[in-house]
Structure 1
Amino acid sequence: MTLQQITSRVHVETAHLGSNNSIIVGDEQLILVDSPHRPTDAMQWNKTVSAFGETRFIVNTDHHPDHTIGNFWMGGDVVAHRGTRERLLTDAPTDEYLRDLFARIDPDAVALVDDYSVRVPNVVFSEELDLHVPGASLELTFRPGHTANSLLAWFPQDAVIFTGDIVCEAGLPSFQDSRLANWFDAIDAVAEHDFEYLVPGHGDVADRAVVDHYRALGREVVSQVASAIAAGHTRDQACDEIRFEDNIHVDTDEYVGYPDSLVEMFQRRSIARIYDDLVEDPSLANR
């Protein structure tokens, strides 16, 4: 645990494999942002959170497992965009997938799979939703970008924005559920907020400089794919040739990351997604 207090009411854990996990402390109740990926982290996180008070809401910034698996071990209502609920109801990880994944990233959790079930959001919205607990209010806005159901969470009291994987300080996440136009629009939407602290989906808590840096990383890989298309390379060729640095799913000194096969799949699907979007709209190469 490396729990960091960034304001009087906001605490952030950035050391978990998977998404960053945050606590907004109201006068009596809590609002959480995203839940741990590894079940053993989730159970420990629940103990940590409980020391601050009762959880009223837990917000999922998208449907991906590294933001939602831990819901099962947390309290409160689960809140997300309605698309997140739909994806978790129709396309949640299978037990076989979870056993294989946990065997690598969280061996003690393999035995928990039989009793695990996906805890889907029971409070959903389409465009905007404000969450209120005594002493704290969080503004949620639908902002497709990293996924078609991503959201931004804005805590104006302390000028903190929680971006999920719309902006990641650690580097680029997968593009496989993105559309390029939305991806860049979402980054622009983050920049429009007058924030002091940005809590990314992955990586360290940051300031405004991270937005431009993250946008530049995206432009770099988009430029590579655009050059491949201009050179007449096929989609498969581009997927074979182009890679971006993955600092999110790989091993670190703190934890074991995803197997190489999954990391490779994310890369290929990401390049394919970018390729298809650029073929459809070449002007996106200039975003």
Structure 2
Amino acid sequence: MQEIVPGVFVETGFRGGNVGAILTDEGLVLIDAPPFPEDARRWKNFLREQTHLPIRAVIMTDSYRDRLLGPFWFQPPLLIAHAATHTAMSSLPGSYAGSVVNALTRDPGEMSGFGSAQLLLPNITFTHQAVLHFGKPALYLYAHPGPTKGSLWVHWPERGVIFTGDSVVVGTPPFVNSDHSKEWLESLSILRRPRFPADVIIPGHGDVTDKEATEPISEFLRLARRRVRSLYKSQRSLSETALVVHELLALFPAPLESELEMVQQRVRTALQFIYNEFRDLELDGLEILEEDEEPGLEIED
């Protein structure tokens, strides 16, 4: 747990992804929250050591499974998310919290620690941009579809600090759970612009970083789109996208042997979403263009 700039706290070692907190005049704003109860207790205790002010809000950067249980441990007055995250969570069955626990751990002792944990629905949502004020600083929330339809960023421009959620991850292939890879690439191009004030990036997974960390994600998405576009236009099946997995894995450090199958499945899932993205274009009667012909898509090869 570290204070990366005055008033911004980050933990990158919890299972389930990175979490952060920003200290405002009126209290703490949490960006995501640890899904495991013991990690949540540690995070809560650390934050209590930093300030006597209360937790005013938790912001969910997306609707990915590992993000869903964390807010329960904090019971925030405000739970803020993109409207698409609210929609996705509203469609889940009441038993889904148990499914999340089963996906997070198989250890009986750990599972018992979750007790009666439930999913909390966001009570504040937005669609494009929002500004959050608890005194100072003003925090800017931007919608950036990519890893999920409801992915968002949290920006403190005066400090050049941005929480990107899984729009940026470090040292591992990205988590793709939506058919918005084109918008994702556009968002990363925006983030890389010299005039965009983001000297410090807190990714969804991995160490605190800077704009250079966006390049491997863009390279992955561009290559995946090229390969899947070629397969789709050649009328190859969805299952044949698996042929590209090893080429994409080579863009990142080799995962641990114990994690290899999980990471391979993550890449297979990404390719399937991108395939469906092209299929939906065709179903909508739109032409599938080559990458350098796509309007609005900045190519930086």
TM-score class normalised by the smaller sequence: 0.7 to 0.9
Per-residue CA deviations over 1:13-54 (Å, capped at 9, x if unaligned) read 111122210111123411111111323212221222222231
CA distance in 2, matches of 1:40, 1:97: 19
- TM-score, normalization: structure 1? 0.84
Report 1:118-157 matches (<5 A): 118-157=119-158
Change (3 A) 1:26 1:266: same
Say whether 1:225 aligns with 2:228.
Answer: yes
| Runs of 5+ consecutive residues of structure 2 not aligned to the other structure | 282-286, 293-298
| 1:100 counterpart (102, 123, 141) | 102
Query: Does the 8 A contact of 2:66 with 2:104 survive in 1?
Result: no
Change (3 A) 1:247 1:178: farther
CA distance in 1, matches of 2:37, 2:66: 10
Farther off after superposition, 197-206 or 167-176: 167-176
Change (3 A) 1:284 1:35: farther
Residue matched to 1:63 = 63
CA distance in 2, matches of 1:18, 1:111: 18
Aligned residue for 1:63, secondary structure, equals: coil
| Runs of 5+ consecutive residues of structure 1 not aligned to the other structure | none
For residue 225 of structure 1, report the CA deviation from its aligned partner: 2.6
Query: Does the 8 A contact of 2:169 with 2:205 survive in 1?
Result: yes
Residue matched to 2:162 = 161
Identity of aligned residues (%): 24
For residue 95 of structure 1, report the CA deviation from its aligned partner: 4.3
For residue 62 of structure 1, report the CA deviation from its aligned partner: 0.6
Q: Which amino acid aligns with 2:21?
A: I
CA distance in 1, matches of 2:203, 2:105: 27
Aligned residue for 2:105, secondary structure, equals: helix
CA distance in 1, matches of 2:92, 2:186: 26
Query: Does the 8 A contact of 1:278 with 1:284 survive in 2?
Result: no
Residue matched to 2:240 = 237
For residue 122 of structure 1, report the CA deviation from its aligned partner: 1.2
Change (3 A) 1:240 1:199: same
Q: Which amino acid aligns with 1:42?
A: A
CA distance in 1, matches of 2:90, 2:15: 24
CA distance in 2, matches of 1:57, 1:135: 14
CA distance in 1, matches of 2:37, 2:17: 13
Farther off after superposition, 90-99 or 217-226: 90-99
Report 1:180-191 matches (<5 A): 180-191=181-192
Say whether 1:273 aligns with 2:273.
Answer: yes
Q: CA RMSD in A?
A: 2.8
Change (3 A) 1:121 1:50: farther
For residue 152 of structure 1, report the CA deviation from its aligned partner: 1.5
Report 1:5-24 matches (<5 A): 5-24=3-22
Residue matched to 1:41 = 39
Per-residue CA deviations over 1:71-116 (Å, capped at 9, x if unaligned) read 0011432111121122112126724423422433x65331144511
Structure 1 or 2, whichever has the larger Rg, is 2
CA distance in 2, matches of 1:123, 1:20: 22
Per-residue CA deviations over 1:186-209 (Å, capped at 9, x if unaligned) read 212323422111111111111121
Per-residue CA deviations over 1:245-273 (Å, capped at 9, x if unaligned) read 3989x769xxx87x94x655543332111
CA distance in 1, matches of 2:264, 2:97: 22
Change (3 A) 1:184 1:241: closer
Query: Does the 8 A contact of 2:80 with 2:123 survive in 1?
Result: yes
Aligned residue for 1:6, secondary structure, equals: strand
